[in-house]
Chain A
Amino acid sequence: MIPPAFDYARPTSLDEAVRTLAEAGEDAKVLAGGQSLLPLLRLRLAFPELVVDVGRIPELRGIREDGDTLAVGALTTHHDVIHDPLVRRHAGLLAQATETVADPAVRHRGTLGGSLAHADPAGDLPAVVLALDAELVAVGPRGRRTIPAREFFADYLQSTLAPDELLVEIRVPKREGWGFHYEKFHRVAQSWAMVGVAALVRRDDGHIAEARIGLTNMGATPLRASAAEEALTGAGDAEAVARAAQSAAEGTRPSRDASASPEYRAHLARVLTKRAVLAAAGMG
């Protein structure tokens, strides 16, 4: 399979990248690691006139501490996220979920920013940044703006980034002392998650004091299981968690495809929420 013809630009600085995107308008696509874009091009599901390769902009890569926040450059690869000691210490959920993305070769190329900007609700990381209450920093011709994860995902494969904006950084609040777990269900090793659940819990005196639940593939965008989060507050044992997890699919609109019906996805959301929360809370 051969992609359609396109022009190619490889800016070497953020300024140049933003200028190139602004001049190109809506017919340009940003190429980071290419692990989502190249399959789309090969299958001829995308026909950009210009591909802007941001892969050689060093300032977009790397992870640093910024007070109570971990700032992850958008171009940081999945492989680097997994192996970064700061991520493992302050955002363990991100490291653990990233380990379940695709396979080692894809993780060498694929980037955190790329997988978020791609905005696939079946991707693992959108629900994770939603559960983490991360913020996404975009730069465009009008300057820099910070977008809460809750406002970043607009629709299926659509973010709220303008065509001339570039995602540059993902800001993750440090969550020390929180338990976490990402649980997904898929048919075979490399297939997309049929449903995934990202759970973060803060325990207090043997009870769950706070819970954050992100859902993968339960609608056109990643979603928070708000009803379940509320119901989990105060849960002190596995039975209470199981009861609270019954509300995990409330307010979701899962799709139907060859591998699962909406009803089955709702069932999976409840079961996986229970498993993820029990693991996160150390109650399993």
Chain B
Amino acid sequence: MTHISVTVDGTTYEDEVEPRLLLVHYLRDRLGLTGTPIGCDTSNCGACTVELDGASVKSCTVLAVQADGCEVTTVQGLARDGEWTALQRAFHERHALQCGYCTPGMIMAARDLLRENPHPTPDEVRKGLEGNLCRCTGYQNIVRAVLAVAEGETAPADQAASAQEVTA
């Protein structure tokens, strides 16, 4: 067992883990943060994308021990006081999800994309999200949602549904 200290969505956890434990299993099975799904388990689909020290990673392809001393942000750590981020609101408003399985990973990958390129073209959005697959093939609205955020077209937080209302 190896000792790790990881900050996830603002909370620091100290744990003993087997070196072979994948970060995604640590998040889901040990911390109960099941907002990050496991999709393909082969580094292809991007459903398990989280941020590790501010950069998107596929958490099925990172060991929990590699995250020792690092900061992890999952989709569950984005909302503040029940208010979604602009990107979350845009996915909601633009119907950028059908079954929703890819959504956490899409949102985390889109955050990364917009951080590096705040005003992407539609092609740049598609290229930036190429590591994330939507099994419903709902890509059109996903691209629209990301572009809407880039263009500042999402509704202000006070007019949009809050995280609490929708999940209640």
Contacts and interface: CB of A to CB of B under 8 A. Distances in A.
A38 B56 contact: no
Interface residues on B, range: 20 to 34
A103 B131 contact: yes
Interface residues on A, range: 20 to 34
Interface of B is mostly: mixed
A8 to B, nearest CB: 3
Contacts of A3: 20, 22
B130 A189 contact: yes
Contacts of B19: 5-8, 51
Nearest to B49: A105
A237 to B, nearest CB: 32
B15 to A, nearest CB: 14
A90 interface: no
Contact of A5 (B18, B22, B55): B18
Interface in A1-45: 1-8, 10, 31, 34-35, 38-39, 41-43
A2 B20 contact: yes
Interface string B58-94: 1011110110000000000000000000000000000
Contacts of A31: 63, 66
A53 interface: yes
Given A105-B56, A189-B130, A55 B20 contact: no
A89 B149 CA distance: 33
B128 interface: yes
A102 B66 CA distance: 21
Contacts of A105: 46, 49, 56-58, 109, 112, 131
B65 A190 contact: no
B65 A102 contact: no
A79 B55 contact: yes
Contacts of A39: 42-43, 61
Contact of B131 (A41, A79, A102): A102
A109 interface: yes
B153 interface: no
Given A7-B19, A51-B19, A108 B131 contact: no
A103 B46 contact: yes
Contacts of A103: 46, 130-132
Interface centre among A6, A31, A51, A109 (most CB of B within 10 A): A109
Interface of A: 1-8, 10, 31, 34-35, 38-39, 41-43, 51, 53, 55, 79, 102-106, 108-109, 189-190
Interface of B: 2, 18-20, 22, 25, 41-44, 46, 49, 52, 55-58, 60-63, 65-66, 109, 112-113, 128, 130-132
21 contacts: A2-B20, A3-B22, A5-B20, A6-B19, A6-B20, A7-B19, A8-B19, A8-B65, A31-B66, A34-B61, A41-B20, A53-B66, A79-B55, A103-B132, A104-B109, A104-B128, A105-B57, A106-B58, A108-B57, A109-B61, A190-B131
